[in-house]
Amino acid sequence: MTPYRDYSEKRRLLASGELSLVENVEAFLARIEERRSLNAFTSVFADEAIEEAKRVEKKIADGSAGKLAGMVVAVKDVLAERSRPNTCCSKTLEDFVAVYDATPVKRLREEDAILIGRTNCDEFSMGGSNENSAFGPARNPIDETRVPGGSSGGSAVAVAANLCDVALGADTGGSIRQPAAYCGVYGLKPTYSRVSRYGLVAFASSFDSVGPMAKNVEDVALALGVIAGYDENDATSADVPVPDYVEAISQDAKGLKIGLPKEYFAEGLNAEVRAAIEGAAKALEELGVEIVEVSAPHTDYAIATYYLLTTAEASSNLARYDGMRYGRRAKGERSLAETYRASRTEGFGEEVKRRIMLGTFALSAGYYDAYYGKAQKARRLVREDFKRAFKKVDLLVAPSAPTTAFPLGEKIDDPLEMYLQDVYTTPASLAGCPGVNVPVGADAAGLPIGLQVIGDHFDEAGVLRLAKLIGERVGGARSSAE
């Protein structure tokens, strides 16, 4: 659909004048319009995007353009963009407009990316199907009766359906990797603290990670290089040098030693997904990559641990939506306590309320040690699993999700079923490790299958290098949505 494979080619075409940026942006806008049924965006800034395109074209012409000049980016509706709605797909923030730029957004702007619109997601990033959105679900472009995954569903859809070049997502327990898997695109959850969280609306602060999604590894690497790095506005952001990821992925990945954690291939994994991942591993082996089986014995505890800790943090993070200073306030004369109750009852969806209640309970006096305290200990054990594994191998390969995209409505009334979708993504989230989804073919119904590469802390370069090798040599199914 686009007359270029990746951004570097786009930049060449823009520089040579073979591609008009304004026309390119107009084409994206037209496609967004055409594919409205996907419900990928919560807001689109058509006029501003065209104005931006004109401005950036001039900069490209005079040689002052930034690294991402003209890259058309969609931003998940949980990252603050100054003067734009920041709804988090929640009724409570439906009229809220951000007053500042999130750091990743600011860094994209500084490199002349064009921020075309804000993407649909599960309310406050809580969900794995994009069905928990005040704007209704986004739809999977490969099969519109199916979910795109979540919570960064709209971002995955926008990339898969060619509605932008790159999208920013946010991943707390799989919210980038799982929708990337369901929609057949690349999606990277960086190491926790690699990308500043300043301006990312908090769901679970010790997990939340911002990362890029794209149709190719190169664009993921390029965008990551721009958004990563220390930020004085985020005390938890890491002061660790940012390597040149684009350069890093051009290096050979064949010497790497890869582990397959056996616990990820146990009961519950769909046979076709298993076959695709194992097939990919075999293909890697044939390329000369060393593959060994490793064990991550605490994987079984990941889901329970993840849901205790993230709901606990969420119960506190979402306390600010009380209708007092901004956001939705219930109409009518009420006492203070009743105003809180009514505003939050109206403003939050079912899943958000469920998690607030779970988390409140987990932190309550008398239960703290048994739930939150214990979960913190379990988190350490999961982290140690990874530490041990990365003493033996460079990277891990696993499925991104146990199945391919499921039909809309199938799991929405069964929260536990829904939570189990996160079984392969939550361990790396608990450990703070980077993970990327790599599309590796499709099931019999033509639905994309996702392979996950997990790396040690700050080894995004290794993760992306292997992702590139798999994508190029093992055979990633390009999204049929194009």
424 near other proteins, judged by CB under 8 A:
no
CB 244 within 8 A of CB 221: no
Three-class HEC string of 417-448: HHHHCCCCCHHHHHHCCCEEEEEEEECCCCCE
The active-site residue, picked from 90, 129, 151, 196, is 151
- Residue from 133, 175, 400, 429 carrying the catalytic annotation: 175
Map the footprint of other proteins across residues 218-247, applying CB under 8 A.
232-236
Q: Which segment (31-39, 153-161, 364-372, 407-415) binds other proteins by CB under 8 A? A: 364-372
Look at the block and give the residue holding tokens 């659909």.
Answer: 1
Binding status of residue 80 toward other proteins by CB under 8 A? yes
Per CB under 8 A, 79 contacts other proteins:
yes
Q: Does 320 bind other proteins (CB under 8 A)?
A: yes
Kindly report the number of other CB atoms within 10 A of residue 261's CB atom.
Answer: 23
Query: Which residue shows structure tokens 């989804």?
Result: 437
- Residue window 143-182: x/- pattern of binding to other proteins, with contact defined by CB under 8 A: ----------------------------------------
In whole angstroms, how close is the CB of 73 to other proteins at the nearest point? 18
Residue 44 or 309 with smaller CB distance to other proteins: 309
Coil, helix or strand for 451? strand
Q: Is 303 in the site for other proteins (CB under 8 A)?
A: no
Contact status, residue 255 vs residue 384, Cβ threshold 8 Å: no
Q: Tell me, what DSSP letter sits at residue 200?
A: B
400 is catalytic: no
Question: Of 10, 67, 76, 189, which residue is the catalytic one?
Answer: 76
Min dist. Cβ of residue 309 to other proteins (A): 9
Nearest to 189 by CA among 129, 125, 233: 125
- Least distance in angstroms from the C-beta of 96 to other proteins: 7
Of the candidates 451, 404, 402, the residue with the CA atom closest to the CA atom of residue 284? 451
Q: Is 360 in the site for other proteins (CB under 8 A)?
A: yes
List the beta bridge partners of residue 257: 290
Q: Which residue's CB is nearer to other proteins, number 183 or number 318?
A: 318
Q: Tell me how far apart the alpha carbons of residues 376 and 443 are, in angstroms, rounded to a whole number.
A: 37
Shortest Cβ distance from residue 232 to other proteins (Å)? 7
Q: Does 357 bind other proteins (CB under 8 A)?
A: no
Nearer to other proteins, 96 or 419 (CB): 96
Q: Which stretch binds other proteins (CB under 8 A): 76-84, 141-149, 407-415, 426-434?
A: 76-84
Q: Least CB distance from residue 136 to other proteins, whole Å? A: 22
Q: How far is the CB of 200 from other proteins (least distance, A)?
A: 5
280 by DSSP, 3-state: which? helix
Distance CA 90, CA 77 (A): 10
Interaction of residue 96 with other proteins, rule CB under 8 A = yes
Evaluated on CA atoms 462, 194, 260, 153, the torsion sign reads: negative
Rounded to whole angstroms, how far apart are CA atoms 479 and 482? 6
The 3-state DSSP class for residue 191 equals: coil
* Binding status of residue 140 toward other proteins by CB under 8 A: no
Task: Tell me the site size for other proteins, rule CB under 8 A.
Answer: 44
Q: 115: which residues sit within 8 A by CB, 6+ positions away? A: 45, 49, 52, 73, 74, 75, 81, 105, 108, 109
Active site residue 151: yes
CB-based contacts of 30, cutoff 8 Å, min separation 6? none
| Backbone φ/ψ region at 288: left (φ over 0), alpha (ψ -120 to 50), beta | left
CA dist., res. 244 & res. 400, Å (int): 26
Position among 60, 98, 433, 436 found at the interface with other proteins (CB under 8 A): 98
By CB under 8 A, name the one of 45, 340, 386, 406 that touches other proteins.
340
Q: Say which residue the tokens 């003209």 belong to.
A: 70
Q: Is residue 326 at the binding interface for other proteins, with CB under 8 A as the rule?
A: yes
The amino acid that residue 275 corresponds to is A
Active-site annotation holds for 76: yes
Asked if residue 336 binds other proteins (CB under 8 A), the reply is yes
Residue 372 sits in the site that holds other proteins (CB under 8 A)? yes
First-to-last CA distance in the chain?
7
Closest residue by Cα to residue 168 from 109, 127, 123: 109
Is position 325 an interface residue for other proteins (rule: CB under 8 A)?
yes
* Min separation Cβ 87 and other proteins, Å: 10
- Measured from the CB atom, is 143 or 313 closer to other proteins? 313
Task: Please tell me whether residue 75 adopts helix, strand or coil conformation.
Answer: strand
Site residues (CB under 8 A) for other proteins, limited to 177-216: 197-202, 204-206
365 sits near other proteins (criterion: CB under 8 A)? yes
Residues that bind other proteins in the complex, under the rule CB under 8 A: 78-80, 86, 88, 93, 96, 98-100, 102, 197-202, 204-206, 232-236, 312-313, 315-316, 318-320, 322, 324-326, 336, 340, 360, 363-365, 368, 372
Tell me which residues are annotated as active site. Answer: 76, 151, 175
